[in-house]
Structure 1
């Protein structure tokens, strides 16, 4: 009996496909052997390895074009679309449900952030992410130009670097200021991944048209900073919803929510300034002459002596 319990089941692929076909069309849903591990499967998914027994038939070009490829691109196991829709319509309740254990329908938070960040960065890179016009860059000192170029190259090459730096800090601030919501640091860290992924989409939707129109309407460049506004408004709204189950006064909920967003925005600008300082320090070490261009130019004494004296006005 022990040998029978520990023995593995070997399945002929052709026979297994036919068994699955019979089981799928039978009204009684007779159990069939899983093609991955050999366990008898009475339902759609194998209880041992989790494989979907519904799509184990032989691969065909029709299946790849009409199901597998669209499913991989648009649905991504239906999780990312569902998660994004929930984070747009009811973010606070969604985060509470996810932390409480309702996670099967959702995309994993870190994967959600990384995938969205990669797609949005690809779109922004395609239209050009230079926030300054060419005429304005020509009037800038060379050190400032190189610093901006190096920062954009770094941001384009490592788009998730800013999140790696900010997520722990944002989670720490949110855990402290939103402690009535009773999220620990790990839960708030995953919540920040959901929030950052969603705000990345919102900011891209706002920034992309402005970046496309800026070359034709340079005045729009002054309003690019407004791309931060949807991020701040949405994040404050999410935090307000996180505090909804608490018994705090409504005013206190908004104060905590807005205060958390303000501190997180300051952390964002502080981290950007640190990156700029590091880049400037690196550029100056490579070429110390870059600092000389920042110094005001002095008029030679000889030129001052030979300069014509101002004529008195009558």
Structure 2
């Protein structure tokens, strides 16, 4: 029997969702209901998760622009999506590729400089948690893009969401392109480390494709100059953070942490 009264607020409701509280119209829980709920919770196949991933793979910049322009009903939550992809990326690097073992093997060289404990720990940490570290950089990168593009069209918080889509595009590139290659090279740590550096070279190219579609009214030269400015600011911040880490480790462990034990 059809129930036209909202079970949550008692408002008369003839639509699929209550106009007052937003609750979905009452229906009995059956097998179809359970399947739909599982689908919505884990994948949201007809819209959210897979739809957004497909859109990002096809054109991440256009996907971000459409979302900022208000076309959001079909998309998965961008911040949640980025965290899910970062989790998947970290699981692959930790459990499948075993980057910790690769880094330890790479820095077990007879060269004493290459075998410093600090370098091993630093490289292992960055390799294992690279995805989450890049997530932490999103608010900083959003500040850079807000300053560099100097556009009144988007506020800072929209730049955060925009760069979350960009980060998701990078994570998908790693998961679907580079990680499979890493897997086949897992017995050659040197090749994996070299290819890891190559993967970073794709970042400016990905950024160009991304921002060219977000700011499609700008010329190619203007986009390139702005990307170079963002990369430059990012390098400065990176080295400042490294300096802070080094100073912190010296403060905790003393200068001997960076002096080769003889």
Pair in the same fold by TM > 0.5: yes
Kindly state the Cα deviation for residue 225 of structure 1 after the two structures are TM-superposed. Answer: 0.9
Name which of 49, 70, 73 aligns with 1:80.
49
Higher relative contact order (CA 8 A, sep 6+): 2
Partners of 1:138 and 1:212 lie apart in 2 by: 22
- Relative distance call for 1:175 and 1:90 in structure 2 (3 A) is same
Aligned residues: 258
Match of 2:253 in 1: 284
- Relative distance call for 1:143 and 1:284 in structure 2 (3 A) is farther
Name which of 151, 174, 177 aligns with 1:206.
177
Kindly state the Cα deviation for residue 280 of structure 1 after the two structures are TM-superposed. Answer: 3.7
Instruction: Spell out the pairing of 1:239-258 with structure 2 (5 A cutoff).
Output: 239-246=211-218, 249-256=219-226, 258=227
CA radius of gyration, larger in:
1
CA contact (8 A) 1:167 1:192 kept: yes
CA contact (8 A) 1:124 1:204 kept: no
Gaps of 5+ in 2: none
Instruction: Spell out the pairing of 1:107-146 with structure 2 (5 A cutoff).
Output: 107-127=76-96, 128-130=98-100, 131-132=102-103, 134=105, 136-139=107-110, 140=112, 144-146=116-118
Partners of 1:38 and 1:262 lie apart in 2 by: 56
* TM-score of the aligned structures, taking structure 1 as reference length: 0.68
Kindly state the Cα deviation for residue 264 of structure 1 after the two structures are TM-superposed. Answer: 5.5
Gaps of 5+ in 1: 1-17, 21-31, 298-314
Partners of 1:230 and 1:271 lie apart in 2 by: 23
Is it true that 1:50 corresponds to 2:19 in the alignment?
no
CA RMSD of aligned residues (A): 3.3
* TM-score of the aligned structures, taking structure 2 as reference length: 0.79
Match of 2:149 in 1: 178
